[in-house]
Structure 1
Amino acid sequence: MSHKRIPKRKAAIAAGSVVALGAAAILLPHANASQDGTSADGAPRTMKATDASDLASRLQGLLGQAFAGSYYDAAAQQLVVNVISGDNNNVVVQAKKAGAKVREVGNSLAALKAGAQTLKAKATIPGTAWAVDPKTDQLAVTADSTVTGADWDRLTSTVKSLGDGMATVKRSSGTFKTLVSGGDAIFAQVQGGTVRCSLGFNVTASDGSPAFLTAGHCGVAAKQWSDSETGQPIATVDQATFPGNDFSLVKYDDPNTQAASEVNTGEGQAVQIARPADATVGEQVFRMGSTTGLHDGTVTGLDATVNFQSETDPNGVDTVTGLIQTDVCAEAGDSGGSLFTQDGSAVGMTSGGSGDCTNGGETFFQPVTTALQATGATLGDGGAGAGAGDQNGSADPSASAGDQAGGGDAVGGGGTADPSGTAGDGTDDQSGAGQSGAGAGHRSGAGHGSSSLTRTH
C-alpha cells in the first residue's frame, strides 16, 4: 500500500512549529566543536552546550555526592561543575582532567532538594515556582503578581526558614498560567466550544505508529484533535499527564501518515530535529509559537516546580514538577510549541509561564526526554519519514508560499486567524482562563530550505 502524505495545506500538523514574526536577524554561528579526549594540563576546554550536557552527566556519576550541579558558560564555551567544599581532591582532579571548570560551593544538591521539599510542603501557593540555580548554588524562588498578603508572608517566611544562602525570592510582573495554542495549531471540539493547542514534536510510538507530543493539559482537555478548526479529527490522544507532568502522546488516526521531524522556522527555513537532549543551564535555546514567532533565550533552571492556579477548582493548585525554566518570552497562544537548539536537538514543549515578549518573563517547558521515557515513543518521523515538499524532504520549488508544507495555520492568543480575521475573532482559550486577543493571521509559510535560524526581538 502506498503511504499517505499529508496534503500541503494540511501540513500545519506535520512540523514542530510555525512561521516566525517580524524582522529577523541572522543567528549567532555555532559554538566551536568540542575537543576530543581529556585536558592534560587540567585547563577547562571549550565545547558546545550539547557536549557540555553529556560531560555533566558523566561527571555527576563520577563525583557522586560531591557533585553539586553544573551549568554552561556560553561566553567562555565551558562547562562549570560545582563541587562541595572539602571533598576528595582526587575526584576534583578527574573532573578537571575531563575538561570541566570546577568551583567549590557550600550547598549540596541533597540540601537544595530538601529545601525544595520544604517549599512544596509549606508554600505550594498558586503563582509560585522554584528551581535549582547552579550559578548561584541556591534555590531560585519566583512569585507572580497574584501572590500577596498572607500568601506572600507565608512564602517569604518559608524561604527564610531554609537558612541563609539557600534561596532567593523575586517577583514576576505577570501571572503564571498555561499558555495555549502555539506552534502549529491543532483543534478539538468539546462541550462549550473549540479548544486549541499546538504540536510539539513528531515521534514514533512504541508500537511503530506515527504520533506527536504536545502539552499534557491539551490531552486532558480533549481526546480527538484536528489540523483545522472545523475539520474532522485526524489524531487521538493515547496518553496524557497533567498536572504532575505536562505531556501528551497523540497518535495519528491514519497509520500511513508521514510527518516530518523538523521545526519550521519560517522565511523558507526549517531545522531538522534529529535527537532528544536534556537541557543545560546556561545554554541558548529557541522557542516557536504562533503568537510571537521565533524567540531565543537561555536555560536558567532545571527540575523546576510551578504551581498554576487550578483551571477546574477555584481554590486548587495544579502543580507541575521537573520542568525546564528559561528566560525565553512567551504569550498566550504559544503553549505546546517546540523548544529546541540550533543543532537540531529537541529539548522541551511549552507548558506555561508569566510575562510577555515586550517586557520579558519566565517560561517553563516539559522536558522531551521525560515524555519519551514515559510514553515509550522515539523522536523522529512518523511513517516513512518524508519531509515537507517532496518525498525526499526537500522543498517543492514550484509550490507557492501558502502551499509549501510546514507553513501551518498560526493562531493568536485569543482568535483563530484567517486572512480576514479580526482581533478577538476566534475560539476560547483551551485552558478555560478566558484570555483573548488578536488573531495572529493565517501565516502560510514558505517552503523549507536550509537549517539556519533567524530570530525576532
Structure 2
Amino acid sequence: MSRKIAALAASLSAAGLAAALTLSPINPSNAAPYVAPADPAVAAQDAMVSALARDLRISPTEARARLARESKAADAESFLRGSLGASFGGAWLDRNATTLTVGITDPARAGLVRAAGAVPRTVARSLTQLDVLKNRLDSKASRAPKTVPGWYVDVTTNQLVVLTRAGKANQAKAFVQASGVDSTAARFVTSTETPRPLIDVIGGNAYYIGSGSRCSVGFAVTGGFVTAGHCGRTGATTTQPSGTFAGSSFPGNDYAWVRVAAGNTSRALVNRYPGTVPVAGSTEAAVGSSVCRSGSTTGWRCGTIQQKNASVTYPEGTITGLTRTNACAEPGDSGGSWLTGDQAQGVTSGGSGNCSSGGVIYFQPVNEILSVYGLTLTVSGGTPPTTPPTTPPTTPPGGTSWQAGTAYAAGATVTYGGQRYQCLQGHTAQTGWEPPNVPALWQAR
C-alpha cells in the first residue's frame, strides 16, 4: 500500500476518499494549455504520451488524463488488495481507463471499495481461488495437448480461460477435467495464437549471446540487467555489454539476469527510438492499463494490459505467470522492456501476430524476476554501482556491523568504521558496496 493511499485511508471520510481517488476523465475544455517543461523526465513522459495517442488512437490530452487515472487506479488496487484479503476478486479498468471495478466475494465489503473510488462487483470466486484453479492446470502443463496454446485467469468474467484450436474444444475440456478443475469455472475460447519466443533477430538495445544470437536488454539492475530466459542459459556469455547469465529459467518461466563485467554502467533508462524514457520504479499496473514496450524491430509500441497470470504453451514448453497484452511485437523485440508511465512492468517473452495485422504479446512481470534473484532495479535518482572493485577493501578501524552477503531493507541501520549509516534502498550487500562507497545505498547519520 502506497503512503498516499495509507494517508488517505487514515484521514479522509469515505466520501472524501472517493472524491480524492475519482477516475473521472479530465475535461479538455477546462485544461490549461500544455507547455513542455525543461525537465528531461517530463519531456520523456511527453514522448510516451505521443506514442499512446498514436497506438490507442486518442488525443495527447486524453493520453495524459488516462495515465493520471491509471496511476490512481494502481494505488487503489494495491490498497484494496491488502484490505479485502481473501474476499478480493481482482481489479480491472474499463476500455477508457475511466472506471476501476473490483471483484469481491463478500458483498459487505462493497462500502470499502466505493470509499477507494472503485466500483464493487460481487463475484463467485476470489482471485486466490482462481489462481488455485490455474495452478492445477500449470501443474499438468506437460500433459496439455498441442491444441491448447495457453490459459489464464480472466478477472473481468471471474473465470479461468482456456485457449483452444478451432474444433478441438473437447481435447481442451478433457485436459481441464484431468487436471481436477471444475469445468464450470472454465471458459473455452477458440484461438489462432501460435506463441513462440522472440529470438535470433536483433532486439531493442541489443546484446549478443555466445556465438552470435541476439536479444534485448530488459531493465538495468544492481550488477547487470534482466531479460528473457529463452535468450540464454545460466553460464552463457554475452557481449555488448560483456557479461554472464547468472540465472535463467525457461520453460516454466521466461526470465533471466545477466551479471555484467567491470566497466559496464547500468542506467535507469529505456530506449524509446529515438530518445530514452526514465525508470522510476516497478509499481504493477492494473488490468486495462495502457503499456508501452521497446524493441529495435518495431520500435516503441503501446497497447493495454488484458490479463495477468496467463500460461502460454510454446514449442519448448509451457510458461506460467505471464501478462497478456494487445501491444504488438515481432521477432527481435525479445527480452525488451515494458513500462506504464515510468514504472517497469516486465520483459518481452513471446506471442503471435505482428505490428501490421496486430496480435497478442506476453511479458514476464519484472517484480517476480527481482524477487527470485534478489535483485534491485536501477531507478532514476540514484544508481548503485554495477560491479564491485577487483581488490577487496581493507578492514576499517573501529566498530563495524555491516557485512557483505546480508540483505538490508530500506531504513535499516549499521555501523562501519565507527560511523552509523541508514539504508536508502533495499539490497543485498556485496564486497565493494561498503556504506562509505555507495551514497546511493547508504546515508551517514
User: Which TM-score applies when normalising by structure 2?
Assistant: 0.65
Structure 2 counterpart of 1:29: 63
Write the distance in 2 (CA, Å) between the matches of 1:289 and 1:178: 14
The residue type equivalent to 1:187 in the other structure is: Y
**Residue in structure 2 matching 1:129, options 130, 150, 166:** 150
**Residue in structure 1 matching 2:137, options 115, 119, 129:** 119
Query: What SS class does the counterpart of residue 100 from structure 2 fall into?
Result: strand
**Residue in structure 2 matching 1:215, options 224, 228, 235:** 228
Structure 2 counterpart of 1:306: 312
Write the distance in 1 (CA, Å) between the matches of 2:375 and 2:198: 24
Structure with more contact order per residue of length (Cα contacts < 8 Å, sep ≥ 6): 1
Per the alignment, do residues 184 and 59 of structure 1 end up closer, same or farther by CA in structure 2, a change over 3 Å counting?
A: same
Instruction: Determine whether 1:225 maps to 2:216.
Output: no
Preserved CA contact (<8 Å) 2:150 2:313: yes
Write the distance in 2 (CA, Å) between the matches of 1:361 and 1:61: 34
Preserved CA contact (<8 Å) 1:189 1:222: no
1:400-420 per-residue CA deviation (whole Å, 9 max, x = no partner) reads xxxxxxxxxxxxxxxxxxxxx
Shift of 1:157: 4.1
Shift of 1:164: 6.7
- The sequence identity of aligned pairs, in percent, is 36
The residue type equivalent to 1:67 in the other structure is: F
Shift of 1:117: 3.8
1:363-400 per-residue CA deviation (whole Å, 9 max, x = no partner) reads 111101111111121111699859xxxxxxxxxxxxxx
Preserved CA contact (<8 Å) 1:219 1:241: no
Query: What SS class does the counterpart of residue 133 from structure 2 fall into?
Result: helix
Per the alignment, do residues 285 and 252 of structure 1 end up closer, same or farther by CA in structure 2, a change over 3 Å counting?
A: same
Instruction: Determine whether 1:326 maps to 2:329.
Output: no
**Residue in structure 2 matching 1:257, options 250, 259, 264:** 264
Instruction: Determine whether 1:235 maps to 2:246.
Output: no
Aligned-residue Cα RMSD (Å) equals 3.1
Structure 2 counterpart of 1:405: none
User: Which TM-score applies when normalising by structure 1?
Assistant: 0.64
Per the alignment, do residues 345 and 203 of structure 1 end up closer, same or farther by CA in structure 2, a change over 3 Å counting?
A: same
Shift of 1:359: 2.1
Write the distance in 2 (CA, Å) between the matches of 1:216 and 1:299: 21
Range 52-61 or range 234-243, more displaced:
52-61
Instruction: Determine whether 1:154 maps to 2:146.
Output: no
Structure 1 counterpart of 2:273: 266
Shift of 1:286: 0.5
Per the alignment, do residues 374 and 221 of structure 1 end up closer, same or farther by CA in structure 2, a change over 3 Å counting?
A: closer
Shift of 1:322: 1.1
Q: Which structure has the larger Rg? A: 2
Write the distance in 2 (CA, Å) between the matches of 1:155 and 1:49: 35
Shift of 1:50: 3.2
Query: What SS class does the counterpart of residue 75 from structure 2 fall into?
Result: helix
Instruction: Determine whether 1:340 maps to 2:321.
Output: no
Write the distance in 2 (CA, Å) between the matches of 1:165 and 1:31: 39
Range 119-128 or range 235-244, more displaced:
119-128
**Residue in structure 1 matching 2:185, options 151, 158, 166:** 166
Shift of 1:73: 2.7
Say which structure is richer in helix.
2
Write the distance in 1 (CA, Å) between the matches of 2:154 and 2:344: 22
Shift of 1:32: 6.4
**Residue in structure 2 matching 1:380, options 378, 385, 396:** 378
Preserved CA contact (<8 Å) 2:206 2:214: yes
Instruction: Determine whether 1:176 maps to 2:189.
Output: no
Per the alignment, do residues 333 and 221 of structure 1 end up closer, same or farther by CA in structure 2, a change over 3 Å counting?
A: farther
Write the distance in 2 (CA, Å) between the matches of 1:235 and 1:265: 24
Structure 1 counterpart of 2:213: 195
Preserved CA contact (<8 Å) 2:195 2:350: yes
Shift of 1:275: 0.6
**Residue in structure 2 matching 1:95, options 113, 116, 127:** 113
1:112-163 per-residue CA deviation (whole Å, 9 max, x = no partner) reads 23432443438623452111111122222223xxx577x6531144458956
Unaligned runs of 5+ in 1: 1-19, 34-46, 205-209, 228-232, 311-317, 387-457
Write the distance in 2 (CA, Å) between the matches of 1:203 and 1:249: 9
Structure 2 counterpart of 1:58: 79
Query: What SS class does the counterpart of residue 65 from structure 2 fall into?
Result: coil
Write the distance in 2 (CA, Å) between the matches of 1:239 and 1:324: 21
Structure 2 counterpart of 1:105: 123
Write the distance in 2 (CA, Å) between the matches of 1:358 and 1:118: 36
Instruction: Determine whether 1:350 maps to 2:348.
Output: yes
**Residue in structure 2 matching 1:361, options 349, 359, 369:** 359
Query: What SS class does the counterpart of residue 232 from structure 2 fall into?
Result: helix
Structure 1 counterpart of 2:256: 248
Shift of 1:78: 3.0
Query: What SS class does the counterpart of residue 220 from structure 1 fall into?
Result: coil
Shift of 1:300: 0.8
Per the alignment, do residues 225 and 167 of structure 1 end up closer, same or farther by CA in structure 2, a change over 3 Å counting?
A: same
The residue type equivalent to 2:303 in the other structure is: G
**Residue in structure 2 matching 1:284, options 279, 285, 290:** 290
Write the distance in 2 (CA, Å) between the matches of 1:356 and 1:29: 24
Equivalenced residues, count: 324
Preserved CA contact (<8 Å) 1:188 1:224: yes
Shift of 1:170: 2.6
Write the distance in 2 (CA, Å) between the matches of 1:97 and 1:377: 36
Shift of 1:246: 1.4
Preserved CA contact (<8 Å) 2:326 2:359: yes
Per the alignment, do residues 353 and 322 of structure 1 end up closer, same or farther by CA in structure 2, a change over 3 Å counting?
A: same
